[in-house]
Amino acid sequence: MGMKKRVFRKVIGEFFSTRKIVIPLLLFLMLAVSGCRQATADYRAETKKQKDERMQWWRRARFGMFIHWGLYAIPAGEWNGNTSHAEWIRHTAKIPLEEYEKLGAQFNPVKFDADKWVFCAKDAGMKYIVITSKHHDGFCLWDSNVTEYDVIDHTPFDRDILAELSDACKKHDIPLCFYHSIMDWHHPDYLPRRKWENRSAEEADLQRYIAYMKAQLKELVDRYDPAVLWFDGEWEDTWTHEEGLKLYDYVRSLKPDIIINNRVDKGRPGMKGMTLEGNFAGDFGTPEQEVPETGFEGVDWESCITMNRHWGWNKNDKDFKSGEYLIRQLVEITSKGGNYLLNVGPKADGSFPQESIKRLEQIGDWMDINGESIYGTTASPFGHLACGRCTAKIKSRSAVLYLHVFDWPTDGRLHIPGLRNKIKEAYLLDGGKKLETISNSRGVTVLVPDEPKNKIDTVVVLKVSGKLELENAD
């Protein structure tokens, strides 16, 4: 146990023993009062205006970084010759708890530099960071008071990772968010046990685990002020709709304007991303490794996607998507009204994989010029555009359409069928070159240069006056 925690517990112990009756009574009264307060606040009953205000920064952001990091980075995906593992390694390689715990002694990420991580995210044009405070293996990346299975007490690395990252995020003005697994393969009270384990579950008490999880969430909110809590692992039978509602309200009671994903509750069918109709908690849907066919009008969602095939670091997985693919995926998701949460799995030494850095830089180069066509935009008003995708900023009497041209026309004419409005202005976002347009009964034709500015995606901006009018906008 860390010195700090020993002293803390000693002080608390003495405090209680000398004031055996008065203090517990006071605590009980305080809890009862705060319990009443919590029970009366129904955070899901907020108005549309209140929700819009709460979601505003997140909707504008459109692009964030997911970080999966923990003890599992040490084996880097390999166990007994099998190289297909990652953050699930304890389960997929059936590693007994005591053996997995031993990884802690090797966790010494001397290259961890929170500022560097934040720069990487910001330079790529990402507007928020979501890191695993605790993944399914139960290991915690901060100095938790309620467990010793954390980075300070269980590893030689005497630094609170979340504290450093939170300081760096504050310094560089980017919201920090936490992924927190409800499922926990380490805590003695969590149920169920993995089927292959022979850890006794006789003394386990799930309610005690939930109290532990809530105490941890309070630490996270009080100390690091996360902008989003991103739950996961809710699919196990032991987690219920009722607990989901309570957990949602609990986290909002800690920080009323926090945003919480839909995996806090049981509203999604199986492992699907979006929540079914009903009284389910959660502010946004979470399609995973998937770009939905279409957007979801009036529903917030975020696709989380890996750059290669794994979330956690796997040294053998070289199957990285290209920079071009990732840029187009960002555009595709934005054009459907969603956010893009792109994952990085740092190595055990605390550095980002070189392949990830390279792709983040490529995306950043494109975003430096074209970020305006992503941030604060909403879904395409067109059903389908043959040349590429569209993102938009639509007001009641004007609109800006960002045409993301993936297939540059060979005849210098870019057709936008069905667009009825008068075009006030047309230009290339990269460099601002003005473009001529021709409007006729079939729509608008933009006269474009022979070559695109960028083969991946050149953005043509159309500013239209009056209410946006589209024909056959299916």
Q: Does 283 bind ligand FHN (CB under 6 A)?
A: no
* Binding status of residue 304 toward ligand FHN by CB under 6 A: yes
CB of 242 to ligand FHN, least distance (A): 22
Give me the residue whose beta carbon is nearest to ligand FHN: 311
Nearer to ligand FHN by Cβ, of 62 and 68: the residue is: 68
Q: How far is the CB of 271 from ligand FHN (least distance, A)?
A: 6
Closest CA to 360 of 345, 373, 374, 349: 345
Nearer to ligand FHN, 112 or 311 (CB): 311
Site residues for ligand FHN, 66-85, by CB under 6 A, read 68
Least separation, in Å, of the C-beta of 288 and ligand FHN?
5
288, 355, 361, 430: which one contacts ligand FHN (CB under 6 A)? Answer: 288
Pinpoint the alpha helices (H) of 259-372.
323-335, 354-370
In angstroms, give the least distance from the CB of 438 to ligand FHN: 46
Partnered with residue 134 across adjacent β-strands are 140, 180
Residue 15 vs 235, nearer CB to ligand FHN: 235
Q: Is 311 in the site for ligand FHN (CB under 6 A)?
A: yes
- Provide the token pair at 141: 């990346």
Work out whether 232 is an interface residue with ligand FHN (CB under 6 A).
Answer: yes
234 binds ligand FHN (CB under 6 A): no
Residue 142 Cβ, how far from ligand FHN at the closest point, in Å? 18
Tokens of 364: 């950043």
DSSP 153: T
Site size toward ligand FHN (CB under 6 A) is: 8
Which residue, 160 or 232, has its beta carbon nearer to ligand FHN? 232
| Residue partners of 132: CB distance under 8 A and separation at least 6 | 67, 68, 69, 70, 87, 141, 178, 179, 180, 181
Q: Residue 339 or 377: which CB sits closer to ligand FHN?
A: 339
Nearest to 81 by CA among 370, 399, 323, 316: 316
The DSSP element (H or E) to which 56 belongs, if any, is helix 48-61
Choice between 264 and 399, CB closer to ligand FHN = 264
- Is residue 393 within 8 Å of 406, Cβ to Cβ? no
Task: Please give the order of strands across the beta sheet that includes 443-447.
Answer: 413-417, 443-447, 436-440
When asked if residue 87 is in the footprint of ligand FHN (CB under 6 A), the reply is: yes
Site for ligand FHN in 253-272 (CB under 6 A): 271
> Helix, strand, or coil here: 32?
helix
Please give the torsion angle defined by the CA atoms of residues 80, 83, 85 and 91, in that order, rounded to the nearest 10 degrees.
-20
Name the CA radius of gyration of the chain, rounded. 25
CB within 8 Å of 29: residues ≥ 6 apart: none
Instruction: Say whether residue 291 binds ligand FHN (CB under 6 A).
Output: no
Stretch 29-68: interaction string toward ligand FHN, x if CB under 6 A: ---------------------------------------x
Name the site residues for ligand FHN (rule: CB under 6 A): 68, 87-88, 232, 271, 288, 304, 311
